[in-house]
């Protein structure tokens, strides 16, 4: 009878484990309350793990990008405290604040953006990761189908929207107008995390006109943490290290026969 009720209530994890747990409770002389608490904790934990898995799949984050795997040593002048704060205290999401990561290619902007998104997902929030070009194409398609307002509203389900490599968006009215509409829509409503190679002074190469550039920047920076990453490309440095390691040394070279 208990199994029937658990199935009716859709308590699937309780259903699959209650008999095993009952045996343990009997052997260890648990009270009824202890047994019920253990069952409930099991159900809550399994539901949380299932939800977390769905949220991470939905976010489409680059794989293996976490703060623990980020090599901060290649940014000797960088203070990671503000980034760590974003990843552990999500009050900035509740206030619809933004984060803007600037720096040349290869310094780790995408890694940090994905790591922050993963951290806030693990704290129970929803996030979505897009390359800027993919997001713009998605919004353009929605606009052509007269679905842009509905699409923007659908993106509101995400507490954090990551827009990676903003500088690769082409300077055309069709592309930048939908990007501006997204920025304007989320302003003081939901958070955005943007990575870009170019500083604000070069954003006139992204948006179609100066007025749109100023308006977009104004909305993004009004409530934002702005982080600049100054370093050589991590990928280039790693490649140089591998090349050096694989190059033969003088001792490894075959010297000609002097006889």
Tens-digit pLDDT profile for residues 210-220: 898 999 999 99
Q: Residue 242: what pLDDT? A: 54
Q: Residue 258: what pLDDT? A: 44
The two tokens of residue 41 are 């904790």
Distance CA 53, CA 151 (A): 24
Distance CA 231, CA 213 (A): 27
Region 172-199 average pLDDT? 91
Q: Are strands 191-196 and 224-228 parallel, antiparallel or unpaired?
A: unpaired
H-only helix segments in the chain? 2-8, 12-28, 32-59, 81-88, 91-94, 109-122, 132-144, 148-155, 173-186, 210-221, 234-246
Q: Residue 236: what pLDDT? A: 59
- DSSP codes, 143-210: HHTT-HHHHHHHHTT-SEEEEE-GGGS---HHHHHHHHHHHHHHTTTSEEEEEESS-GGGGGGTSSSH
Q: Residue 249: what pLDDT? A: 54
Q: 200 burial class (0-12, 13-18, 19+ CB within 10 angstroms)? A: middle
Q: Residue 139: what pLDDT? A: 95
pLDDT in tens, 6-57: 888 888 888 888 889 888 999 999 999 999 999 999 989 999 999 999 999 9
Task: Tell whether the model's pLDDT for residue 147 goes beyond 50.
Answer: yes
Task: Tell whether the model's pLDDT for residue 95 goes beyond 50.
Answer: yes
Q: Residue 245: what pLDDT? A: 55
> Crossing angle for the helix pair 81-88 and 109-122, nearest 10 degrees?
30
Q: Residue 115: what pLDDT? A: 97
Report which of residues 256 and 162 the model is more confident about.
162
Sign of CA dihedral 241, 62, 119, 138: positive
Region 130-149 average pLDDT? 95
């Amino acid at each position: 009878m208990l199994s029937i009720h658990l199935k009716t209530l859709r308590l699937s994890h309780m259903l699959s484990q209650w008999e095993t747990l009952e045996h343990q409770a009997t052997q260890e002389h648990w009270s009824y309350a202890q047994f019920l608490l253990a069952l409930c904790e099991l159900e809550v934990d399994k539901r949380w793990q299932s939800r977390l898995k769905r949220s991470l799949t939905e976010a489409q984050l680059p794989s293996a990008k976490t703060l623990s795997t980020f090599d901060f040593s290649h940014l000797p002048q960088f203070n990671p405290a503000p980034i760590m704060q974003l990843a552990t205290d999500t009050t900035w999401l509740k206030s619809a604040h933004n984060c803007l990561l600037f720096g040349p290619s290869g310094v780790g902007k995408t890694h940090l953006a994905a790591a922050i998104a993963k951290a806030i997902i693990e704290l129970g929030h929803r996030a979505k990761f897009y390359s800027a070009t993919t997001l713009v194409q998605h919004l353009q398609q929605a606009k052509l189908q007269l679905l842009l307002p509905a699409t923007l509203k659908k993106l509101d389900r995400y507490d954090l929207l990551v827009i990676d490599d903003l500088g690769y968006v082409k300077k055309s009215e069709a592309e930048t107008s939908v990007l501006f509409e997204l920025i304007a829509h989320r302003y003081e409503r939901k958070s955005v995390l943007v990575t870009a190679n170019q500083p604000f002074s070069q954003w006139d190469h992204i948006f179609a006109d100066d007025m749109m550039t100023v308006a977009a920047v104004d909305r993004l920076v009004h409530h934002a943490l702005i982080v600049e990453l100054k370093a050589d490309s991590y990928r280039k440095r790693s490649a140089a290290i591998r090349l050096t390691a694989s190059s033969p040394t003088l001792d490894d070279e075959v010297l000609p026969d002097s006889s």
